[in-house]
A and B are shown apart, each in its own frame.
Chain A
Amino acid sequence: MMTVKLKDGIAKYFLLCSAAFSIVALLAIALFLFSRGIPAMAEIGLFKFLFGTVWHNNPGATNQSYGVLPMILGSIYVTALATMIGLTIGIFIAVFIFKFCPKKIRGILEQLINLLGGIPSVVFGLFGILVVVPALRQISPTFVGEGILAASLILSIMILPTIVTISLNSLKAVPRNFYEGALALGATKEQSVFKVVLPAAKSGVYTAVVLSIGRAIGETMAVIMVIGGSPQIPTSWLQSIDTLTALIARNSGEASGLAFEALIACGVVLFVFTILLNVFLMTVKIKRTNQSYKLTLKRHNERQAQKLIDHTSFLHLRVALLYKRTKFFIKYPFVKLGQFFVWLVVVCKLNVICRQLSELLDKNWRAESRQKAWYAFLKVSSFFAAFLGVLALVGLILFILIRGTPYVSWHFVFGKYTLDNPTLTPAIVGTLILVGIALCISIPIGVGSAIFLSEYARKAKGVKYIRLAIDSLAAIPSIVYGLFGFIFFVGLFGWSYSLLAGGVTLAIMTLPTVIRITEESLLTVPHIYREGSVALGASKVRTTFKVVLPCASVGIASALIQTVGRVISESAVLILTIGLMVNIVPDGVMSPGTSLALNIYYFGNFGSSDQAAATCVVLLIVVLLLNLVLSFVGKRLGRNNFKY
Chain B
Amino acid sequence: MKENIIEIKDVQLHYGNHHALKSINLSVSKCEILAFIGPSGCGKSSLLRCINRMNDLIDGCRVRGKVVIEGFGDIYGKGIDINNLRKNVGMVFQKPNVFPMSIFDNIAFGPRTHGIKKKKDLDPIVEDSLKKAGIWQEVKDDLKKSAISLSGGQQQRICIARALAVQPKILLMDEPTSSLDPISTAIIEDLCENLKINYTIVIVTHNMQQATRISDKTAFFLNGEILEFGETTQIFSNPKNEKCEKYITGRFG
The reply, when asked whether chain A contacts chain B directly with Cβ atoms under 8 A, is yes
Which A residues contact B (CB, under 8 angstroms)?
1, 4, 459, 526, 528-539, 542, 546-547, 550-551, 640-643
Say which residue of B87, B100, B148 sits within 8 Å of A536 (CB atoms).
Answer: B87
Contact mask for chain B residues 73-103; partner A; CB cutoff 8 A; 1 contact, 0 none: 0000000010111110011010101111100
Within the complex, what minimum Cβ distance (angstroms) separates A548 from chain B? 10
**Given known A-B contacts A1-B83, A1-B84, A642-B148, A535 and B163 have beta carbons under 8 A apart:** yes
A536 B113 Cβ-Cβ under 8 A? yes
Q: A551-B100, A640-B146 are in contact. Are A535 and B95 (CB under 8 A)?
A: no
- Of all chain A residues, the one with the shortest Cβ separation from B111 is A536
Residues on B with C-beta less than 8 A from A528 are 93, 95, 97
Task: Compute how far the CA of A539 lies from the CA of B57 in the bound complex, rounded to whole angstroms.
Answer: 12
Q: List the B side residues contacting A640 at CB < 8 Å.
A: 100, 146, 148
Residue of B57, B83, B95 near A537 (CB, 8 A) is B83
* A531: chain B residues within 8 A (beta carbon): 54, 57, 91, 93, 97
CB distance from A243 to the nearest CB of B (A): 47
Is B166 in contact with chain A by the CB < 8 A criterion? yes
Q: Are A4 and B99 in contact, CB atoms less than 8 angstroms apart? A: no
B97: min CB distance to chain A, Å: 4
- B162→A536 contact, CB < 8 A: yes
B213 to chain A minimum Cβ distance, whole angstroms, is 25
Cβ-defined contact, B110 with A536, below 8 A: yes
Given contacts A528-B95, A536-B113, A539-B83, 14 further A-B contacts (CB under 8 A): A531-B54, A533-B99, A533-B109, A535-B86, A535-B90, A535-B91, A536-B90, A536-B109, A536-B110, A537-B110, A538-B109, A640-B100, A640-B146, A642-B148
A residues in contact with B99, CB < 8 Å: 529, 532-533, 547
The 4 A-B residue pairs with the shortest CB-CB distance in the complex, in nearest-first order: A537-B87, A535-B91, A528-B97, A537-B86
Interface size class of B (residues with CB under 8 A): 20 to 34
Most A CB within 10 A of own CB, among B57, B84, B90: B57
B113 / chain A contacts, CB cutoff of 8 Å: 536-539, 542
Q: Chain B 205-240, CB within 8 Å of chain A: the 1/0 string? A: 000000000000000000000000000000000000
Decide if B140 is an interface residue (CB 8 Å cutoff): no
Q: Which residues of A contact B146 (CB under 8 A)?
A: 640
Distance A534 CA – B52 CA, assembled complex (angstroms) = 10
Quick one: given A535-B86, A536-B162, are A550 and B91 in contact (CB under 8 Å)? no
Residue of B nearest to A1 (CB): B81
B132-167 contacts to A (CB < 8 Å)? 146, 148, 159, 162-163, 166
Residues on B with beta carbons closer than 8 Å to the beta carbon of A551: 100
- Would you call B52 and A535 a contact (CB within 8 A)? yes
Residues of A within 8 A of B100 (CB): 550-551, 640-642
A532 contact set on B, CB distance < 8 A = 93, 97-99, 159, 162
Say whether A536 contacts B166, CB under 8 Å: yes
C-alpha spacing A547/B112, complex, angstroms = 13
Most buried by B among A459, A530, A534, A542: A534
A535 vs B93: C-alpha distance in the bound complex, in angstroms? 10
Q: Does B121 sit within 8 A of A, measured CB to CB?
A: no
Closest beta carbon of chain B to A138's beta carbon, Å: 59
In the complex, what's the smallest C-beta–C-beta distance from B214 to chain A, in angstroms? 21
CB nearest to A530 among chain B residues:
B57
Chain B residues positioned under 8 Å from A537 (CB to CB) = 83-87, 110, 113-114, 166
Residue of A532, A547, A641 with highest tally of chain B CB at under 10 A? A532
- By a CB distance below 8 angstroms, the chain B residues around A542 are 113
Q: Say yes or no for B181: interface residue by CB 8 A criterion.
A: no
A520 to B126 alpha-carbon distance, docked (Å): 34
Chain A residues in 8 Å Cβ range of B110:
536-538
**What residues of A have a CB within 8 angstroms of the CB of B81 in the complex?**
1
Tell me, in angstroms, the Cα distance from A4 to B146 when the chains sit together.
29
Q: Judging by beta carbons under 8 Å apart, are A643 and B86 in contact?
A: no
Decide if B97 touches A536 in the complex (CB within 8 Å).
no
Residues of B within 8 A of A4 (CB): 83
Task: Say whether B59 faces chain A, with CB atoms less than 8 Å apart.
Answer: yes
Residues of B contacting A529 with CB < 8 Å? 97, 99
Q: Which A residues are in CB contact (< 8 Å) with B97?
A: 526, 528-529, 531-532
14 pairs of residues in contact across A and B, judged by CB atoms under 8 Å: A4-B83, A528-B95, A532-B159, A534-B57, A534-B86, A535-B163, A536-B90, A537-B84, A537-B86, A537-B110, A538-B109, A547-B109, A551-B100, A640-B148
CB neighbours (8 Å) of B148 from chain A are 640-643
Q: Assess the A546–B163 pair: CB atoms within 8 A.
A: no
Give chain B residues whose Cβ lies under 8 Å from the Cβ of A1.
81, 83-84
Complex-state Cα separation, A459 to B60, whole angstroms: 11
CA distance A563 to B236 in the complex (A): 63
Smallest Cβ distance from A231 to chain B, in angstroms? 55
Could you tell me if A546 and B90 are in contact, using CB atoms closer than 8 angstroms? no
Question: In the complex, what residues of A have CB within 8 A of residue B85's CB?
Answer: 537
Query: How far is B56's CA from A530's CA once the two chains are assembled, in angstroms?
Result: 13
Interface centre among B59, B95, B113 (most CB of A within 10 A): B113
Residues of chain A within 8 A of B166, CB atoms compared? 536-537
Which chain B positions have C-beta within 8 A of A547?
99, 109
Closest Cβ of chain B to A46, distance in Å, is: 47
A551 CA to B90 CA, complexed, in Å? 23
Q: Which residue of A lies closest to B113 (CB)?
A: A538
